[in-house]
Structure 1
Amino acid sequence: MTHPSPLPVVVAIDSFKGSIRAADAAQAIAEGWRSVDPEREIVLCPMADGGEGTRDAFAAAIPGARRQPSWLLLPATDDAQDRTGVVELASTSGIELLGSPPRLRPWDADTRGFGEAIAAALAHGVSRLILGIGSSASTDGGAGMLTALGARFTDAAGQPIAPGARGLATIAAADLTRLAPPPPGGVTVLTDVTSPLLGERGAAAVFGPQKGATPDDIPLLDAALARYADLLEADPDTPGAGAAGGTGFGLLAWGARLVPGAQAVAQLIDLPARLAAASLVITGEGSFDASSAAGKTVAYVQDLAAAQRLPVALVAGRVADGAATTGFASTTSLTDLAGSAPAALGDPARWLRLAGGELAQRFG
């Protein structure tokens, strides 16, 4: 008598920032599970919310995706002319590109590299763009990106402004007549940030310190962004305008649409359908804390699973005291497995494999 095969296990995990990419984390968990239960089908759906690992998540989850030097080309779907490009700010103008530990440059870091990658995708002939804008290093409002796409920003003497927020402090005019148009299918921007551009909840005040800005820098950065905002036709109060040091605002001025990152990635990799055919989903991130419930990947995966009445196992680098873990069928902390945070950070793949094996023993 033959028995039906057990339903697949889906691994929909985010990156462990600064430690291991989402695709590698998902692979490590799968290897651990297979060491105990080699027959179970493991479906890898590495996740992202617009930050580090967004491009890798699409590459791992979508068959036929092709890597270009600084962006990703997704395969055509129903329309043979539908050519979607994925560009990630983290890998082109991100904070991790400044070294480890990063050599922060709050006034001079800019988004030109991000814009150059977008321009390369446009030159390739993409019909649609998906842009992930997390892990930014700069507070330039996306001016560097727009410059790479053909915009010209000048000071009172008619000279090009300096890169970064330093240039915004002297900006007097914006010439967008040579700005490349968006592709015909539009531009979708993935972000988990809802901050406006300016003010106490804006790009400078909330995210400037992460990029090296001092308390004295914050009002000056905010004023520089305000000068810039006066020259572009976009609403600085739009939720997400302050994302990536104001790059969200620059993209709004280009005609882009901002959407919640985790939700968009899940839809694009068809995660709801994959969960509908699964017996368990494993999700997680580097640090699971109180903020994880506010639009982050783990919370969104948990919501999707709840709609399917599917059990969810959480695997995190650390689980903060007081973090809401109710609703998970299992919770695993790599810090606890390894005995300390430094040990977990030193070899995350090892501990993720161990976590995968333990989950197979429990749920296999």
Structure 2
Amino acid sequence: MSRVVIAPDSFKGTASAADVAAALGRGWRSVRADDEIVTRPMADGGEGTLDAFEAAVPGARRMPVTVRGPVSSPVATHWLLLPDGTGVVELAATSGITLLDPLEPFDAHSAGFGEAIADALDAGVERLLLALGGSASTDGGAGALSALGARFFDADEQAVALGNRGLGVLAGVDFTGLRPLPPGGALILGDVTNQLLGDDGAAAVFGPQKGADAETVTVLEAGLTRLAGLMPDVSPSAPGAGAAGGAGFGLLAWGAVMGGGAVLVAEALGLGGDIALADLVITGEGRFDGQSEGGKAPSEVARLAASNGVPVALVAGAITAEPRGFAASVALTGLAGGTEPAMADPLRWLEAAGAQLAAGADATGRS
């Protein structure tokens, strides 16, 4: 009998991390019914981070709040209050891309994220964990900071519109009214290490995911460049500044500190201890690509597995980069015969992936 730890991230927009883990487990058991399955849904600062902390920390409480969504329509959401007084706020749950259809690359903003942070401050949290990832906007965090009391104004000293569109006429920034950090500070749970500007920046890398064509990316970049020039106290080249459409940049300017989202979630879950006792680890995400090694959940799970000498397998909706360090890999697009059928019924194909890995367990497991 083998012990298999299943620790995937969510498959963004199609299945939660918990549902992914459960489906993989069902598939594995269909082939190897006697094996012990341990499911540990993961997150890296993007969608599902609140769920991961809620599952991992006894006594965590949901704190309901209604905020302006990505284009200002009300969104009923929540942040998480941990027993030690820490507030966990997730951008994907307030200003996330899954909350918006159609996409609005110029007008989507992060104000709702700032409103949820403000609600946590009003509740008297001792410190903040700020989960970045899955954003709909490319506003450099200006929306979030405006909700926390900062002013972003044009040449006539009038407030600019929310979203990247407003950054195009930005002439000044005033932090006089910006709310202070909580006593214990704020730690950013980032899922990428990209800088704000350039070929590796927020607009160039993530803009197309948010509905931007090549011409639009150029305009988004210009807006972020304008913002960076008016906020000289933080470097646009700082690792993670480009996270969540540049929200990382805005939070760094506020005084928050960049951390690794996947690392902190794994610590909260006690994942290292589970992996140390495993014969095989299975991880995954919706799309495994060139960004996956830059702080995404599968890379952290693989690191923990390697440090414990445990083989690790990868399951992803699509695999477009070499999955280095994995004993086996399965793409749902390959099982289903294409992207559309894989996305139409992901749980079916996740079960199939689990069964395929179990069938080849002699090659992937260490027992």
Q: TM-score, normalised by structure 1?
A: 0.86
Aligned pair count reads 349
* Whole-angstrom distance in 1 between the partners of 2:88 and 2:266: 15
2:127 and 2:257 map into 1 onto residues whose CA distance is 12
Per-residue CA shift, 1:252-290, capped at 9, x if unaligned? 111111123322322232211221122221111223345
Correspondence for 2:258:
258
Report whether the alignment pairs 1:196 with 2:195. yes
Rate the CA distance shift 1:334–1:122 in 2: closer, same or farther, 3 A: same
Mapped partners of 1:352, 1:228: distance in 2: 43
Which of 46, 65, 90 is the matching residue for 1:51?
46
Partner of 2:364: none
Contact 1:138 1:244 in 2 (8 A): yes
Could you tell me how far apart the structure 1 residues matched to 2:35 and 2:221 are?
53
- Distance in 1, matches of 2:357 and 2:206, equals 37
**Counterpart of 2:61 in structure 1: which amino acid?**
R
The answer to whether 1:92 aligns with 2:94 is yes
* Deviations 1:237-264, CA, capped at 9 Å, x for gaps: 2122122222111101111111233223
Deviations 1:7-47 (A, max 9, x none): 64211101122221112111222333445556654322212
Letter in 1 for 2:249: F
Aligned partner letter, 1:148: A
Asked if structure 2 preserves the Cα contact closer than 8 Å seen for 1:71 and 1:86, the reply is no
Tell me by how many angstroms 1:218 deviates: 3.7
Answer yes or no: is the 8 Å Cα contact 2:59–2:82 preserved in 1: yes
CA distance in 1, matches of 2:60, 2:38: 17
Q: Secondary structure at the match of 2:285?
A: coil
Structure 2: any 5+ residue segments left out of the alignment?
A: 65-76, 362-366
Secondary structure at the aligned position of 1:96 is classed as: helix
What is the alpha-carbon distance in structure 2 between the residues aligned to residue 62 and residue 35 of structure 1? Answer: 31
- Partner residue in 1 for 2:17: 22
Confirm or deny: 8 A CA contact 1:46 1:61 kept in the other structure: no
SS in 2 for 1:146: helix
Matches within 5 A, 1:204-283: 204-232=203-231, 233-283=233-283
Partner SS for 2:265: helix
1:331 paired residue number: 329
CA distance in 2, matches of 1:86, 1:54: 9
**1:75 matched to which residue of 2?**
82
- Say yes or no: does 1:131 pair with 2:133: no
| Separation in structure 1 between the aligned mates of residue 263 and residue 316 of structure 2, nearest angstrom | 20
Higher mean alpha-carbon deviation, 197-206 vs 127-136, is at 197-206
Residues 299 and 272 of structure 1: CA distance in aligned 2, closer, same or farther (over 3 Å): same
Is 1:60 matched with 2:58?
Answer: no
Q: CA 1:166–1:7 in 2, change beyond 3 Å: closer, same or farther?
A: same
Structure 1: 5+ residue runs without aligned partners? 1-5, 77-81
Compared CA separation, residues 222 and 336, structure 1 to 2 (3 A): closer
* Residues in 1 aligned to 2:217 and 2:333: alpha-carbon distance in whole angstroms: 35
TM-superposed CA distance for 1:362, in Å, is 5.2
**Cα distance per residue 1:80-106 (max 9 Å; x no partner):** xx222221111211122112xxx2222
The C-alpha deviation readout for 1:293-316, integer Å capped at 9, x for no partner, is 343322221121111111212222
**Which secondary structure does the structure 1 equivalent of 2:292 belong to?**
helix
Percent of aligned positions with the same letter in both sequences? 58
Q: CA RMSD in A?
A: 2.5
Q: 1:350 aligns with which of 345, 348, 351?
A: 348
3-state SS of the aligned residue for 2:244?
helix
For residue 241 of structure 1, give the secondary structure of its aligned residue in structure 2.
coil
Paired AA for residue 207 in structure 2: G
Query: What's the CA shift string for 1:147-187, capped at 9, x where partnerless?
Result: 11111222222221111112222222322222111112221
Equivalent pair of 2:305/2:312 in contact (CA under 8 Å): yes
Higher strand proportion, which one? Answer: 2
For residue 14 of structure 1, give the secondary structure of its aligned residue in structure 2.
coil
Cα 1:64/1:7, change in 2 over 3 Å: farther
Q: 2:88 is paired with a residue of what secondary structure?
A: strand
Q: 1:160–1:324: structure 2 CA closer, same or farther, 3 Å change rule?
A: closer
3-state DSSP class of the match of 1:16? coil
* CA 73–137 in structure 1, closer or farther in 2 if over 3 Å, else same: closer
Following superposition, the deviation at residue 325 of structure 1 comes to 4.2
